[in-house]
Structure 1
Amino acid sequence: MEGEKWVLMVTAKTPTNIAVIKYWGKRDETLILPINDSISVTLDPNHLCTTTTVSVSPSFPHDRMWLNAKEISLQGGRFQSCLREIRARAQDVEDEKKGIKIKKEDWQKLHLHIASYNNFPTAAGLASSAAGLACLVFSLAKLMNLKEDNSQLSAIARQGSGSACRSLYGGFVKWTMGKEENGSDSLAVQLADEKHWDELVIIIAVVCAQQKETSSTSGMRDTVETSALIKHRAKEVVPKRIVQMEEAIQNRDFSSFARLACTDSNQFHAVCLDTYPPIFYMNDTSHRIISCVEKWNRAEGTPQVAYTFDAGPNAVMIARNRKTAALLLQRLLYNFPPQSDTALDSYIIGDKSILGDAGIKDIKDVEALPPPPEIKDNMPTQKSKGDVSYFICTRPGGGPVVMSDETLALLDPLTGLPK
């Protein structure tokens, strides 16, 4: 193999996921073992995903990684944990077309080039690290011909980023906290695939695409050390909610699903406030979105929309069907219209067909929107231009896939460097 000139590559696409029963707090910092189970919805990878190309060559002098076209350090313990775990499980690989043979023991001395790209904001509370680490583990597992299934791979991805374990499946996913000291039983299982409840529509308000002030890692550590509420949440509240949420998903019971998702999100942020010093992930715009959804749900007498906020100000809203999603979009655009110089096309991204359902073709239609019926005549409506960067319309989606089209690779097939 010495002196040979070849590059072997795999490119994969992995979705992000949004927890509807939250993970917050670890019982083991190194292995990333959570203090409670969590449940998430995987989002359509066409709208929110990480694409990663991994490559190996005897000509690479050391491991290198690029994220969104910028080189980043691979020295972090979490990257190293994932790389170590995967190299230890690597198998023989043969590429007959290229005449390449790699013996499993060779993987320990071969170096990797990794390029990763997120099609949504990084570190803004949209689970970019979850999609990123899941994609890294999934693509390396394919490159090194691992025999492990996605559930076993999820235990490796978990050591890079806790929520990453849930991105190894599409649809509705549960991360079981596990009891073992070594974390072998702390892994993801699929509760239902994306087709099980495919009428749901998801609208995300990207409130602020900057990086957040408190990272999830340090936030969780502070909460576990200082919050009295977190112990009660993990021991008493979440176990019951997990059972109820599994039932709601299985029965496609939207009312129960929405109530559980909203109350769990609210409690997660209450725990952040109960941390000392307090952590504020939501802002005034986040609170106004909650108010907008709650008023509508109350006026209808039954939940139309669920909301959930991760460790950031962005609102993830889940509508019971397309008709409801169109009404939700009208309300959101009425309350949070784009700035005058913003094109509607860049303000609503993802599945733009919902604009058609909402009867909106251009900015004039947004300006002509009537106030929602639940806003009483005597209440002044405060419209907020510029408080939302943009909206993403999406739906529950499938799990990670290998991209067979080599032109979609992020690395050059000859040099293994970014294109």
Structure 2
Amino acid sequence: MADYWQATVTTPVNIAVIKYWGKRSVALNLPTNASLSVTLHQDQLCTTTTAQCSKEFASDRLWLNGKEEVIKPGGRTDTCIQEMKKLRKAYEDKYEDPHPASEWHVHLCSFNNFPTAAGLASSASGYAALVHCLATVYRLPNTSTELSLIARQGSGSACRSLFGGFVAWDMGVNEDGSDSKARQVASEDHWDDINAVICVVSDEKKGTSSTSGMQRTVETSPLIQERIRLVPARMAEMERAIAAQDFDAFAQLTMKDSNNFHAVCLDTSPPIFYMNDVSRALVALVHEFNRVSILQKRGHRAAYTFDAGPNAVIYCLRRNVKDIVNMVMHYFPQAEPFKDTYKVFYGKDTPGQMPLPKEFNEAVAKRWEVGAVRGLIHTKVGPGPRVLDVEQSLLTPEGMPKSLAEEKK
């Protein structure tokens, strides 16, 4: 193909410690409260996206995880594409750029290296990748905060995946959403000791999507108003905890907010059940782990949080990962060995077979069968989007997914 522009990027997953739940504007994805998240490292969890634009293309097209998806006019994906084309057109007009790329159609190919729609924030990293990739293709000078205004319209939490480290999404007050945007609270280097153990309870698509669930909550839950009242103070406390690297405060706030979020889901009519019995067993284990730690005057050493799904994300400091993984695998044996990416186990250490902490009440939960927790992922706080080399493109020069081209050979 004679004339095309292309870029390939990766974007991270973010997991909120102060949750976003509820919209005051569905059309613009404007939240009822601010939120704050930790960006997780892309070595374990990321979306990779290639965008290509060409005057030869007949329409905008999208392939997600090997399957072509319909881009619905006026839908979330189409909105993000059209908003990015507007930014490009403004750039062309301002700088008298002779390349009318804003008029060209785009082909997008994207894949996640983790389960889509299973409560692991796949839509957040996906829409962040779409926006960041098009910004790179279009050679735009816009900041990540400016781009977050568009990513937010695809998926609210996507605005936070445009940054590394610790990221806030300010609620804003303007009706047009012009002040509802993301900002970095602290870089990944500020507190690089933050790790996360993700307990994958299910990789199946959830029964109630976040979009429909939060709207039902806003319409039917009296408790959501109390949550809206509480969040501003929690945001300020969380920012202070991150600035001070105070894990004890960070842990308590994270768990309280997760519990409050799921209480609001239960207060919805009909109630929304994202957590299951395995999720609740993991909650009990973390609280017992912390009870013993506090008795030993070590403070909280673990903090669970659950998004809109049953999977637990357990935040901790690096030095505590080994004890937490051992505890989880003691109660939830795994079919496969633990993937010790960061080498926290050594010598003859066998996860799941080492002693539990002294005074730990083993009766706090039963031992489950293999597969109740389908897998463990150990990751840590990480950087924001990355631009990859041209060789790592997911599309051929003709604008078709390389995976499909290989199948036809």
Matching of residues 186-201 of structure 1 within 5 Å: 186-201=180-195
Q: Which residue of 2 aligns with 1:80?
A: 78
Residue 344 (structure 2) pairs with residue 354 (structure 1): yes
Distance change (3 Å), C-alpha of 1:22 and 1:82: same
Matching of residues 42-57 of structure 1 within 5 Å: 42-57=39-54
Q: Which residue of 2 aligns with 1:296?
A: 289
Rounded Cα–Cα distance in structure 2 between residues aligned with 1:380 and 1:142: 49
Residue 405 (structure 2) pairs with residue 410 (structure 1): no
1:247 to 240, 243, 255: 240
User: Aligned AA for 1:353?
Assistant: K
Q: CA deviation at 1:41?
A: 0.3
Q: CA deviation at 1:366?
A: 4.3
Rounded Cα–Cα distance in structure 1 between residues aligned with 2:363 and 2:177: 57
User: Aligned AA for 1:324?
Assistant: N
Distance change (3 Å), C-alpha of 1:387 and 1:200: same
Q: Which residue of 1 aligns with 2:327?
A: 331
Residue 144 (structure 2) pairs with residue 160 (structure 1): no
Q: CA deviation at 1:408?
A: 1.2
Q: CA deviation at 1:371?
A: 4.5
Q: Which residue of 2 aligns with 1:124?
A: 118
User: Aligned AA for 2:42?
Assistant: P
Matching of residues 42-191 of structure 1 within 5 Å: 42-75=39-72, 77-90=75-88, 91-92=91-92, 103=98, 106-191=100-185
Rounded Cα–Cα distance in structure 1 between residues aligned with 2:53 and 2:186: 35
Rounded Cα–Cα distance in structure 2 between residues aligned with 1:102 and 1:43: 37
Rounded Cα–Cα distance in structure 1 between residues aligned with 2:45 and 2:351: 25
SS in 1 for 2:159: helix
User: Aligned AA for 2:328?
Assistant: L
Query: Which stretches of structure 1, 4 residues or more, deviate above 4 A after TM superposition?
Result: 377-381
Rounded Cα–Cα distance in structure 2 between residues aligned with 1:224 and 1:319: 32
1:41 to 35, 38, 42: 38
Residue 395 (structure 2) pairs with residue 398 (structure 1): no
Residue 23 (structure 2) pairs with residue 26 (structure 1): yes
SS in 2 for 1:353: coil
Q: Which residue of 1 aligns with 2:370?
A: 385
SS in 1 for 2:249: helix
Q: Provide the alpha-carbon RMSD of the alignment.
A: 1.9
Rounded Cα–Cα distance in structure 1 between residues aligned with 2:139 and 2:201: 41
Q: Deviations over 1:233-257 (max 9, x none)?
A: 10x2101101100100000011110
Rounded Cα–Cα distance in structure 2 between residues aligned with 1:367 and 1:376: 16
Please, which moves more after superposition, 143-152 or 25-34?
A: 143-152
**8 Å contact from structure 2 (residues 49, 110) kept in 1:** yes
**8 Å contact from structure 2 (residues 120, 311) kept in 1:** yes
**8 Å contact from structure 1 (residues 24, 268) kept in 2:** yes
Q: Deviations over 1:197-218 (max 9, x none)?
A: 1111110001000000000000
SS in 1 for 2:346: helix
**8 Å contact from structure 2 (residues 292, 360) kept in 1:** no
Using the size of structure 2 for normalisation, the TM-score is: 0.92
Identical aligned residues as a percent: 47
Rounded Cα–Cα distance in structure 2 between residues aligned with 1:378 and 1:314: 22
2:265 to 262, 272, 278: 272
Distance change (3 Å), C-alpha of 1:83 and 1:380: closer
**8 Å contact from structure 2 (residues 252, 303) kept in 1:** yes
Q: CA deviation at 1:74?
A: 1.2
Q: CA deviation at 1:109?
A: 2.8
Q: CA deviation at 1:5?
A: 2.2
Q: Which residue of 1 aligns with 2:274?
A: 281
Distance change (3 Å), C-alpha of 1:312 and 1:416: same
SS in 2 for 1:415: coil
Using the size of structure 1 for normalisation, the TM-score is: 0.90
Rounded Cα–Cα distance in structure 2 between residues aligned with 1:125 and 1:379: 26
Q: CA deviation at 1:299?
A: 1.3
SS in 2 for 1:116: strand
Q: Which ranges of structure 2 fall in alignment gaps of 5 or more residues?
A: 403-409
Rounded Cα–Cα distance in structure 1 between residues aligned with 2:142 and 2:253: 33
**8 Å contact from structure 2 (residues 288, 364) kept in 1:** no
Q: Which ranges of structure 1 fall in alignment gaps of 5 or more residues?
A: 94-100
**8 Å contact from structure 1 (residues 304, 324) kept in 2:** yes
Q: CA deviation at 1:81?
A: 1.3
Q: Which residue of 1 aligns with 2:2?
A: 5
Q: Deviations over 1:152-180 (max 9, x none)?
A: 00010000000000001000000000011
Q: CA deviation at 1:395?
A: 0.3
Distance change (3 Å), C-alpha of 1:378 and 1:298: closer
**8 Å contact from structure 1 (residues 258, 303) kept in 2:** yes
SS in 2 for 1:205: strand
Rounded Cα–Cα distance in structure 1 between residues aligned with 2:278 and 2:142: 44
Distance change (3 Å), C-alpha of 1:367 and 1:33: closer
Q: Which residue of 2 aligns with 1:96?
A: none
SS in 1 for 2:175: coil
Q: CA deviation at 1:382?
A: 2.3
